[in-house]
Structures are given as C-alpha cells and as structure tokens.
Amino acid sequence: MSSILTNTSAMNALSTLRGVNDRLGETQNRISTGLKVNSAKDNASYFSISTTMDSESGMNKAINSGLTLAKNSVSTGRLGAETMVDLAQQFVDRLAFAQTEGVDQDAIQKELSSLAAQMKTSIAQSSFNGENLLTAAGSGPKEIVSGVSRSGGSLSTTVIKYDATNLEAVQASFEAFSIDNTTSSADLQTALQTAEGFLSTVTGAATDLGIAEKSIETQQNFLSELTNRLDSGVGSMIDADMEEEAARLQSLQVQQQLATQSLSIANQAPQNILSLFK
C-alpha cells in the first residue's frame, strides 16, 4: 500500500540515519578528545573509579614534590655533618698526637682552634631553603608526609620519621678544648676520650641523616612507580583506542552515506504515485 501521508520507508531510513549520525558524533568526539569515557554519562562506573584514581595520582605527585624539598634539606644537612665528621676526626688525631711528650702544645692548640672554627662554618652553611638541621632551631624529631593511604572512603597519610642532631652544641664543646694548661698525661687522655665521644655523636648525626635521605629516595622511587601504575590504570579505562576508533569512523562514514542515499530514495516514493494518475 502506498500513501502520500505516511512514508514508512522514509521514517525507517531517517531513524537509521539518526542512529548512524549519533554513533558518528560519538566516535568523532572520542577521536578529538582521545577519551572513550569523557563524562559520567559515557560510563558511570569507569568515570567514578578513574576520577578517584586520578585524584590519588595527583596527590602522590604533590607529595613527591614535597619529598624532593625535604630530601634536599636532609642531603644538605648530611653533607654538613659528614664534613664535620672529617674535621672531628682530624681534631681527635691532633689530640692523639698531643699525647706525645715534647710536642709543641701551642701549635697543636692553634690547629685545634682552626678545626673548631671550620666546624662552625660547616654548620652555618648547611642550610637549604632556610632550614638547617644541624642547629638548635632545626634539630629534633622530624616527620615528613610520604604518601596517602585509602581505606574504603577515608584517606590517611603515611610519614617518614627521623632525628636531626644539634651539632652547634657539639661544635661549642670542640671549641672549648684547651691543652695550654693540660700538663698531665691523664688529663690529655681524658681530653682525647671526650673528643672521641663527640666524634661518635657527630658520626651518629651524619648516619641518621644519611638513613633519612635514603628512605626519602626509596619512597620517591616507589611513588613514581605507583603514579605510573595509577595513570596507566586510568588510561586503560578511559582512553580511546585510536586504531579502533579510526576503523569505526570509516565504517560509520560509509553507513552515513548509504543511509542518506536510502532516505533520498524513500523520499522519492510519493513522487512515483503521480504516475498512477497519468
């Protein structure tokens, strides 16, 4: 049955063309954005998961940047402490030499004073971004945020803890050493033992800072790998497969042309009815 009021073929062809155009627009959007999940309406579950994972990735990157700042401060302090270890060792060596009978005590005292002055300079210069871990103001227990941990819907932070030693007080003790008036061998031995104890303190401070620096580096490497895994996971859920989209685009373009041609043919049907009245 043919009708000039209702063209079923044209309606079917138009419906097909609309469907093709919708899929074509979706494919073109994926190609232009590179995303197959661009909003919650595309895939609500993937959108929610990827948004959460992307947020964690961003937090890890921010924390990693903060760890870089902390590591530089710790590294600077470690360098200063290790320099002081070397100077303290020289100090102890000169005191050991002072145990020898007949040596020039005045000359040795000048060397000791010079070494103590160098220690003071090393401490003063061991500052990064205004923080000096070797001074009274910068020493003590430290905590550095090292990451975030998610349990269910709640977030918590993890920290790296370490101790920074006040080497200003130790340097002052070295500076106070005086052997002009030390005449007995027992007094010299006591001075040597005391200096050796100070050397152990400085060595311990350098060791603590070295351990802290290594811990920070290890955590940074972990955060970098973790961030890569998160970004990769997000990408696998929301990134468009460009090879697949390119193939789909060509197929839909052909379907669009055929649907358009089919609609054109269907629209000519009422025109053919005129021939029945000739």
In a domain, 222, yes or no: yes
Q: Is the pLDDT of residue 221 over 80?
A: yes
215 and 201 co-located in one domain: yes
127 and 193 co-located in one domain: yes
Instruction: List, for residues 12-66, the tens digit of each pLDDT value.
Output: 888 888 998 988 988 888 888 888 888 888 889 988 888 888 888 999 999 999 9
In a domain, 23, yes or no: no
pLDDT of residue 1: 61
In a domain, 198, yes or no: yes
148 and 163 co-located in one domain: yes
- Domain span at 121: 44-238
0.75 cut: is pTM over it?
yes
113 and 181 co-located in one domain: yes
150 and 201 co-located in one domain: yes
251 and 167 co-located in one domain: no
Structural domain count of the chain: 2
76 and 127 co-located in one domain: yes
222 and 261 co-located in one domain: no
Q: Is the pLDDT of residue 100 over 90?
A: no
Instruction: List, for residues 158-176, the tens digit of each pLDDT value.
Output: 999 999 999 999 999 999 8
115 and 197 co-located in one domain: yes
CA angle 60, 145, 85 (to 5 degrees): 120
228 and 260 co-located in one domain: no
256 and 194 co-located in one domain: no
- CATH number of the domain encompassing residue 99: 1.20.1330.10
